[in-house]
Chain A
Amino acid sequence: MTEATPTPPAPKPSPAPAAAKPAPAPKIAMPTPVLNHSAGKLLTTTRYWPTELWANPWASPNYRRGALMLAAIIGGVLLTGAAVGELSRWGDKIYALIGAFVASQGWPQNTAEGAWILLKALIVLHVILINGLWAIWWERKISAHIQSRVGPTYSGGFHGWAQTIFDGIKLLLKEDITPDAADKWVHALAPGIVVAPVVVAFAPVSFGTQLSAANIDIGVLYVFAFAGISVIGIVMAGWASGNKYSLLGGLRAAAQIVSYELPRAFSVVPVLMLAGSLNLEAIALAQAGYWHGLVPRWFLFYPVVGQIAFLIFLIASVAETNRTPFDIPEAESELVSGFHTEYSGMKWSIFFLAEYGYVLLASFLLATFFLGGGAPPLAQLGFIPSWIWMLAKALLMMFIFLWTRWTFPRLRADQLMDFNWKFLLPWSFANIALAGAYLLL
């Protein structure tokens, strides 16, 4: 019994361990148990049982603070949007300023045009980059609260608002590992190919009434065409990683994204028929006005046609962005993150940037196609600028994306295909017919 115990280190006979006669032990004060509390507040009474907590949530100061926070965040985002939108009023002045400056220097007129386009591209690029920063934080907070957690709380002081920024810094500083088995060039190129199209695709997206970087007449086609490119990057990532799981993920992604392009495009056809244009701003403008002065003439509220088109477009958009319930290319529990298993550091975060870019793109498209773009839901609310409405609608759509992600399980690859080809696609065709009937009536 005792031999297996490590003998305690050389217990030298202490100089005077005991007196000549072991006196009866003096009544010593009972030593108290110890609890290491060098940092932190001890919660002696609360056990945080949901039964106690949920009885009256408003009694808890944490809950009140959380509600306040939610209001502050939504208000803050909308105000930021408004501020950015207000700046756009100066667009013409800035353009005139650039033109005057170019003329005074005697440079060719193309220079002003080029500088102006470059400026707009820079602004749109920032929309995507900053969206990545806050959307990830937003997703983490939403998912946390859905799951009775709190999510990031420390970075930045206020409910972890700076978490993504610090994460980004960490990812930038991380070692970039390329596996030995990887196809080096393709491996390095893939994140770029995934993220570039989403930036380009944002060009015709309008951020409010008459507020887009480029007013293209075939805007819808342009957006879909560019958004479809990213699948190449995903397949490249899956193939080049030299990992069997990644390969499976890449192949699944190819099948999925290419398939879901179809219902996604076809579901918009009724909208195009009703609006009579491929221009995103024209589509938004076609939804102006109210029925009986009450219900806005948004395509979402067109009976049957609008709702079917909306649902199909929403579902297909979720599938396009590889999010649950259609996240089979990533499938954490099956393929260990699928195509981006072997990516680390900034390359990995670029995939995330692209994902959230696509989510934002889909949100704006949903708002433009079905929710009337920058139009207010009530005529009386018209005094609020259009970009606030646009942003609010896009945020609402984004919330639906997050909400579904944290509610549903994942479909299997073949069920996903079944759902697409046997359900969504026929219904999107039927919907086109319905829209035709609607136009005839």
Chain B
Amino acid sequence: MKTEERPKELKSDSLFVNLGPQHPSTHGVLRVGLTIEGELITKAVPDIGYLHRGTEKLAEVRGYHHCVVLTDRWDYVSAMPNNLVFCLAAEKLMGLKIPPRANYLRVLMCELNRIASHLLFFGTYGIDIGAFTPFLYAFREREMVLDLFEMCCGARLTYNYIRLGGVMADVSEEWTAKTKEFLGYFKPRLDEYDTLLSFNPIFLARTKEVGKISPQEAVNWALSGPNLRGSGILYDVRKSDPYSSYEEFDFQVPLGKEGSCWDRYFCRILEMRESLRICEQALKALPPGETMATGVAKIPKPAPGEAYAHVEGSRGDLGIYLVSDGQASPYRIHVRAPSFMNLAILEKILVGNKVSDVIAILGSIDIVLGEVDR
């Protein structure tokens, strides 16, 4: 926000408050300029760009294999779908055929990563609302998922695991055993989360009836992911445009009823349960075979053309538009970052709420600033 936009003459009863960029609840470096009267918000302007690293531009001077490393840095709490979406787009251009085992591993990793990402949401949302303990519980479980990732690909956040033509490495027997152990451990924990936070009367009071988004609004503001589904609209890329053999899995898409903060929150909790189901199925039916397609060039130079691929990332419809001019690096890439799209609606739904609700709504939208600013 430019300085001119600030109210020049503050009325005696309104106050301009900078929420961020250094604030415990902005989940990174978002700044929201709030005009408040007492505790009531009259105007809210989200201000982004503090974490801009220009990855879209950087990709134009890097090879296709190198771009996968860049994608890790968009949504750093769930980097697997980022890897996947770039690989899908590039594979479309190159016409690669992915072996089934690699496809299953991609699904497995993306779902595990969705669990990790939603756990982070669960924990930080608890902190936003004032409960500190769920945060530590969520991190305890998330640590196990990250251990699994460390075991199969060597990194805990920036995986670079899904590569052009397949995945980086096959998983071991030990890994599958450990994953099963985790899945068995995690189910009862989800029930505990429900008792601890989801159905706590205080939590319900804070999040139900707050920050409602009608289905019409949700579509108009191009929301996606749990934020859209919380408003009761059935749109999930895994169902509507299946990729990476998602059509072979049996899972439900949880929907909210009224689009309040609690609905968005609970959609994510239910999605974790569905992810668990997908993981179990993937582990059970993991086909044998190669994990990397044959004929992936060391320095790929796809034929000139353009491709669009999108996946259901942890935060919504993550898309990538890739243009190739036949050179070793992409001519242009553009990312449809779900966090960025979801953020825009803040301006509308914050108005008329209390200061405490700002935090509740901001948390329920679940943005990652690395993806917003790219």
Q: Interface on A for B, CB 8 Å cutoff?
A: 47, 49-51, 143, 146-149, 244-245, 248, 324-325, 327-328, 331-336, 406-415
User: Given A49-B144, A409-B206, do A324 and B130 touch, yes or no (CB 8 Å)?
Assistant: yes
Is the CB–CB distance between A412 and B23 below 8 Å? no
Residue on B nearest A415 in the bound complex, by CB: B205
Is the CB–CB distance between B15 and A409 below 8 Å? no
- Most-contacted residue by chain A among B24, B126, B202 (CB, 10 A): B202
* B354 partner residues in chain A, CB cutoff 8 A: 412-414
A409's partner among B136, B181, B202, B358 (CB-CB below 8 A) is B202
Is the CB–CB distance between B129 and A410 below 8 Å? yes
Q: How far is the CA of A192 from the CA of B257 in the complex (A)?
A: 51
Is the CB–CB distance between A407 and B196 below 8 Å? yes
- How would residues 173 to 187 of chain B score, 1 for a CB under 8 Å from any chain A CB and 0 otherwise? 000000001101100
- The 18 sampled A-B contact pairs (Cβ below 8 Å) are A49-B147, A49-B181, A143-B133, A248-B39, A324-B132, A334-B355, A335-B355, A336-B23, A406-B133, A407-B133, A409-B129, A409-B203, A410-B131, A412-B205, A412-B354, A413-B39, A413-B354, A415-B205
User: Given A146-B133, A334-B25, do A409 and B200 touch, yes or no (CB 8 Å)?
Assistant: yes
A325's partner among B23, B126, B130 (CB-CB below 8 A) is B130
Within 8 A of A (CB), among B76-130: 126-130
* A332 partner residues in chain B, CB cutoff 8 A: 24, 130
Q: How distant is B32 from chain A, measured CB to nearest CB, in Å?
A: 12
Q: How far is the CA of A412 from the CA of B137 in the complex (A)?
A: 24
Is the CB–CB distance between A411 and B140 below 8 Å? no
Q: How distant is B123 from chain A, measured CB to nearest CB, in Å?
A: 11
* B23 partner residues in chain A, CB cutoff 8 A: 336
A412's partner among B196, B197, B357 (CB-CB below 8 A) is B357
* B144 partner residues in chain A, CB cutoff 8 A: 49-50
Q: How distant is A136 from chain B, measured CB to nearest CB, in Å?
A: 16
* B355 partner residues in chain A, CB cutoff 8 A: 248, 334-335
* A328 partner residues in chain B, CB cutoff 8 A: 356
For residue B253, CB closer than 8 A to chain A, the reply is: no
Q: How distant is B352 from chain A, measured CB to nearest CB, in Å?
A: 13
- How would residues 23 to 49 of chain B score, 1 for a CB under 8 Å from any chain A CB and 0 otherwise? 111000000000000010000000000
User: Given A334-B356, A409-B202, A414-B354, do A245 and B17 touch, yes or no (CB 8 Å)?
Assistant: yes
For residue B359, CB closer than 8 A to chain A, the reply is: yes
Is the CB–CB distance between A409 and B39 below 8 Å? no
Is the CB–CB distance between A406 and B132 below 8 Å? yes
Q: In which size bucket is the chain B interface?
A: 35 or more
* B356 partner residues in chain A, CB cutoff 8 A: 328, 331, 334, 410, 412-413
- Most-contacted residue by chain A among B15, B127, B136 (CB, 10 A): B136
Is the CB–CB distance between A244 and B181 below 8 Å? no
* A406 partner residues in chain B, CB cutoff 8 A: 132-133
* B359 partner residues in chain A, CB cutoff 8 A: 333-334
User: Given A51-B185, A147-B133, A328-B356, do A411 and B17 touch, yes or no (CB 8 Å)?
Assistant: no
Q: How distant is A159 from chain B, measured CB to nearest CB, in Å?
A: 19
Q: How far is the CA of A324 from the CA of B130 in the complex (A)?
A: 7
- Most-contacted residue by chain B among A146, A406, A411 (CB, 10 A): A411
- 4 shortest A-B CB distances, which residue pairs? A410-B130, A147-B136, A409-B131, A409-B129
- How would residues 52 to 93 of chain B score, 1 for a CB under 8 Å from any chain A CB and 0 otherwise? 000000000000000000000000000000000000000000
Is the CB–CB distance between B128 and A411 below 8 Å? no
Residue on B nearest A51 in the bound complex, by CB: B185
* A408 partner residues in chain B, CB cutoff 8 A: 130-131, 200, 202
User: Given A248-B39, A336-B23, do A51 and B202 touch, yes or no (CB 8 Å)?
Assistant: no
A411's partner among B127, B202, B357 (CB-CB below 8 A) is B202
Q: How distant is B20 from chain A, measured CB to nearest CB, in Å?
A: 11
Taking A49-B185, A333-B24, A333-B359 as given, write out 15 further A-B residue pairs in contact, using a Cβ cutoff of 8 Å, ordered by the A residue number. A147-B136, A244-B15, A248-B39, A324-B132, A328-B356, A333-B130, A334-B25, A335-B355, A336-B23, A409-B126, A409-B197, A409-B200, A410-B131, A410-B206, A414-B39
- How would residues 348 to 372 of chain B score, 1 for a CB under 8 Å from any chain A CB and 0 otherwise? 0000001111110000000000000
Residue on B nearest A412 in the bound complex, by CB: B356
Q: How far is the CA of A414 from the CA of B205 in the complex (A)?
A: 11
* A47 partner residues in chain B, CB cutoff 8 A: 147
B136's partner among A148, A333, A412 (CB-CB below 8 A) is A148
Within 8 A of A (CB), among B189-241: 196-197, 200, 202-203, 205-206
Q: How distant is B276 from chain A, measured CB to nearest CB, in Å?
A: 15
Residue on B nearest A54 in the bound complex, by CB: B185
Is the CB–CB distance between A412 and B206 below 8 Å? yes
Q: How distant is B252 from chain A, measured CB to nearest CB, in Å?
A: 27
Is the CB–CB distance between B205 and A244 below 8 Å? no
Q: How far is the CA of A343 from the CA of B153 in the complex (A)?
A: 46
Residue on B nearest A147 in the bound complex, by CB: B136
Q: How distant is B203 from chain A, measured CB to nearest CB, in Å?
A: 5
- How would residues 328 to 364 of chain B score, 1 for a CB under 8 Å from any chain A CB and 0 otherwise? 0000000000000000000000000011111100000
* B185 partner residues in chain A, CB cutoff 8 A: 49-51
Q: How far is the CA of A331 from the CA of B128 in the complex (A)?
A: 9
B17's partner among A244, A324, A333, A413 (CB-CB below 8 A) is A244
Q: How far is the CA of A67 from the CA of B184 in the complex (A)?
A: 28
Is the CB–CB distance between B205 and A411 below 8 Å? yes
A333's partner among B128, B137, B203 (CB-CB below 8 A) is B128
* B205 partner residues in chain A, CB cutoff 8 A: 411-412, 415
- Most-contacted residue by chain B among A148, A333, A335, A409 (CB, 10 A): A409
Residue on A nearest B18 in the bound complex, by CB: A244
Q: How distant is B23 from chain A, measured CB to nearest CB, in Å?
A: 6
* A245 partner residues in chain B, CB cutoff 8 A: 17
Residue on B nearest A49 in the bound complex, by CB: B144
Is the CB–CB distance between A51 and B206 below 8 Å? no
Is the CB–CB distance between B130 and A331 below 8 Å? yes
* B128 partner residues in chain A, CB cutoff 8 A: 333
Q: How far is the CA of A244 from the CA of B358 in the complex (A)?
A: 16
User: Given A328-B356, A407-B131, do A50 and B24 touch, yes or no (CB 8 Å)?
Assistant: no
Is the CB–CB distance between A325 and B202 below 8 Å? yes
Q: How distant is B246 from chain A, measured CB to nearest CB, in Å?
A: 29
Q: How far is the CA of A60 from the CA of B128 in the complex (A)?
A: 35
* A325 partner residues in chain B, CB cutoff 8 A: 130, 202
Q: How far is the CA of A148 from the CA of B203 in the complex (A)?
A: 22
Residue on B nearest A148 in the bound complex, by CB: B140
Q: How far is the CA of A147 from the CA of B200 in the complex (A)?
A: 18
Q: How far is the CA of A185 from the CA of B134 in the complex (A)?
A: 41
Q: How far is the CA of A335 from the CA of B358 in the complex (A)?
A: 11
Q: How distant is B158 from chain A, measured CB to nearest CB, in Å?
A: 20
Residue on A nearest B207 in the bound complex, by CB: A409
Q: How distant is B269 from chain A, measured CB to nearest CB, in Å?
A: 15
